[in-house]
Structure 1
Amino acid sequence: MLRDVTLRDGLQLTGKVLPTERKVEITRTLLALGVPELEIGSMARPDLVPPMANTMDLVAALEPEELQRCWVWVATPRQVARAAEAGVRNFQYCLSVSDAHNKANIGRTAEDSVAAMPEAIRLARQAGGSIQLCLATSFTCPFDGPVDPERVLAIATDPRTDGACDIVLADTLGQAHPAQVAALVEAVGARGGWGEAHRRIVFHGHDTWGMGVANSLAALAAGAAVVDGSLGGLGGCPFAPGASGNTASEDLLFATRPGWFDPKTLAALVDTTETLLSELGEPNRSRTAEGARSEATAFEWVTPALG
């Protein structure tokens, strides 16, 4: 299953605040096309991540049934409380496995973030919501280099994180390779008890080194239930030097072919992507989107450009 993260991870590095009404339009377009889940914003400080400044305005503009399919990034119990008050019901509690990146991103050690998670879980449940455990830098750290898988497994099996509904394993820098991704997903499932229907494993990949789709397919084969992507491969982490775009949603969908995805849906998705990236002044990194605009007209997935 795909979760599209355009409106959070995708927008982080653009430096532009997309108007709330435009975010609402993109959210509803993606949901209407059949994308099962979205990540729509973050509670990060707007002075540090300006494109997230109007996340709560977006939440206020959406209907409760739409918010049931949307996730919002949080890093502290206080952010969970604020988001819940605004109407958020799906919280992605994020910390970095690497202390160096967690300090750069959140301003505390990984242990501090884990220690605060039981309160975040309590607040999410009090609001009638769900909370994910998201582990950034699950494979490599921009400051410390390779991350020991045992550090990931220690957090995944820590009793303080036990109330999370899902675990997100993030290849923040896009430096992992398929065998490495498969091994970690399998280990988290075997030793952490994740991978059941009510405790999904989510893989969040980046395509920095061209492994985004391959790593995502390896994760799915190893037991992940969800993979993250963004329109046109937009995105990256402002606190991780060397991190470029996410894996393109179009490429993931073309590779996995869920039942709701067909040539007509791809055409609408590519149109949406091209319009958005033009507004933002960002390149389109999706190879599927490029292929869809080719001259191989005998292929049913090819579609002419707008205009």
Structure 2
Amino acid sequence: MTALANGILRDVTLRDGLQLTGKVLPTERKVEIVRELLALGVPELEIGSMARPDLVPPMANTLELVAALTPEELERCWVWVATPRHVEKAAAAGVRNFQYCFSVSDSHNRANIGRTTEESLAAMPAAVEFARAAGGRIQLCLATTFTCPFEGPVDPERVLAIARDPRAEGSADIVLADTLGQAHPGQVTALVSAVVAQGHWGTEAHRIVFHGHDTWGMGVANSLAALGAGASVLDGSLGGLGGCPFAPGASGNTSSEDLLFATRPEWFTPAALAALVPISERLLAELGEPNRSRTAEGSRSEAAAFEWVIRRQP
């Protein structure tokens, strides 16, 4: 067992994966996917968003999905929020894990959320209080931590300043998102290491989550670099589905299958891969989306001597 196996996957298919497709997946189908992934062994899921349904239609039935899940299932599920009101409304519906997200760059935050970065940060203490009142957990999620589609490179000091800001206290975790997938492993190592060096993040109680995109082919490499520097959770989506509708040039999350094949957590066996790939393939076919997972592609090869190849039925 390698050190990399200590990292865990959070599958974000039902939020970040779906939001760029423009298609609303029926609630019962989302419930089926949640239960298939949890039963398979995926530790955590991001299942939806409180974003306005007129702006992000695939998220319109998030609260219906929450209502259909059990409290035990919801303990392993996260919902994207951007305002204290989002947290309050989601908590009333049964959500207990909240991902409070805003962008490090003002231009993207205005495009994505409709306010400045400072305004989002200033509202976070109220969001933390709503989460605590519900007995839940809240994450500080920072988009555009490396580059912004409107402003270009992001100064790492802006990220570090937010990470140590007292108004972010109360967050269980910090999520560092390479929204455009333009970072390279050296940048990821440097930023995650700098966040760890501040002395608060990177512990079991205050995890670092790395959310990478594979737009420039660096998704898995950047994720492994993040793990090596102190992150413990990696975000991925089935077949590399997804991207940000408010970030031109952002397409494709890092594939969950590829992250699992690279890190090999104990539960992820050849049999688990053989069960996961059809789940992914069916969903992508329903959505009319391509499968960007190299692991899924490899699993369908003719290399019969390799245990990870899915055996064809006679």
Q: TM-score range by the shorter chain?
A: over 0.9
CA shift for structure 1 position 235: 0.3
- Corresponding residue for 1:39? 46
Alpha-carbon distance between aligned partners in 2 of 1:82 and 1:273, rounded to the nearest angstrom: 31
Contact 1:185 1:219 in 2 (8 A): yes
Amino acid at match of 1:141: C
TM-score when normalising by structure 2? 0.97
CA shift for structure 1 position 183: 0.6
Contact 1:140 1:176 in 2 (8 A): yes
- Corresponding residue for 1:117? 124
CA shift for structure 1 position 244: 0.5
Alpha-carbon displacement from aligned partner over 1:140-176 (angstroms, at most 9, x marks no partner)? 0000000000000010000000110000000000000
Between Structure 1 and Structure 2, how many residues are aligned?
307
- Corresponding residue for 2:309? 302
| Pairing partner for 1:100 from 101, 107, 130 | 107
Alpha-carbon distance between aligned partners in 2 of 1:113 and 1:192, rounded to the nearest angstrom: 24
- Corresponding residue for 1:4? 11
CA shift for structure 1 position 225: 0.6
Matches within 5 A, 1:196-235: 196-235=203-242
Alpha-carbon distance between aligned partners in 1 of 2:23 and 2:151, rounded to the nearest angstrom: 30
Amino acid at match of 2:116: T
Alpha-carbon displacement from aligned partner over 1:80-119 (angstroms, at most 9, x marks no partner)? 0000000000000000000000000000000000000000
Matches within 5 A, 1:94-173: 94-173=101-180
- Corresponding residue for 1:64? 71
- Corresponding residue for 2:91? 84
Alpha-carbon distance between aligned partners in 1 of 2:299 and 2:82, rounded to the nearest angstrom: 38
Alpha-carbon distance between aligned partners in 2 of 1:162 and 1:212, rounded to the nearest angstrom: 29
CA shift for structure 1 position 192: 5.2
Alpha-carbon distance between aligned partners in 2 of 1:305 and 1:64, rounded to the nearest angstrom: 38
- Corresponding residue for 1:182? 189
Alpha-carbon distance between aligned partners in 2 of 1:11 and 1:301, rounded to the nearest angstrom: 27
CA shift for structure 1 position 193: 1.4
Alpha-carbon distance between aligned partners in 1 of 2:36 and 2:30, rounded to the nearest angstrom: 10
Alpha-carbon displacement from aligned partner over 1:191-217 (angstroms, at most 9, x marks no partner)? 151011100000000000000000000
- Corresponding residue for 1:277? 284
Alpha-carbon distance between aligned partners in 2 of 1:193 and 1:128, rounded to the nearest angstrom: 22
Q: Secondary structure at the match of 1:46?
A: coil
Q: Please, what is the CA RMSD of the aligned residues?
A: 0.9
CA shift for structure 1 position 29: 0.3
Structure 1 residues 305 and 125 mapped into 2: Cα distance closer, same or farther (>3 Å)?
Answer: farther
**Where in structure 1 do 4 or more consecutive aligned residues deviate above 3 Å?**
304-307
CA shift for structure 1 position 304: 4.2
- Corresponding residue for 1:26? 33
Amino acid at match of 2:262: A
Alpha-carbon displacement from aligned partner over 1:220-269 (angstroms, at most 9, x marks no partner)? 00000100000000000000000010000000000000000000100111
Alpha-carbon distance between aligned partners in 2 of 1:300 and 1:139, rounded to the nearest angstrom: 38
Gaps spanning 5+ residues in structure 2: where? 1-7
Amino acid at match of 1:221: G
Q: Secondary structure at the match of 2:119?
A: helix
Q: Secondary structure at the match of 1:3?
A: strand
Q: Secondary structure at the match of 1:92?
A: strand
Contact 1:166 1:201 in 2 (8 A): yes
Q: Secondary structure at the match of 1:208?
A: coil
CA shift for structure 1 position 306: 7.9
Contact 1:206 1:246 in 2 (8 A): yes
Alpha-carbon distance between aligned partners in 1 of 2:257 and 2:118, rounded to the nearest angstrom: 36
Q: Secondary structure at the match of 1:274?
A: helix
Alpha-carbon distance between aligned partners in 2 of 1:98 and 1:306, rounded to the nearest angstrom: 51
TM-score when normalising by structure 1? 0.99
Alpha-carbon distance between aligned partners in 2 of 1:162 and 1:190, rounded to the nearest angstrom: 17
Amino acid at match of 1:108: R
Gaps spanning 5+ residues in structure 1: where? none
Amino acid at match of 2:281: E
Contact 1:271 1:305 in 2 (8 A): no
| Pairing partner for 1:195 from 190, 202, 207 | 202
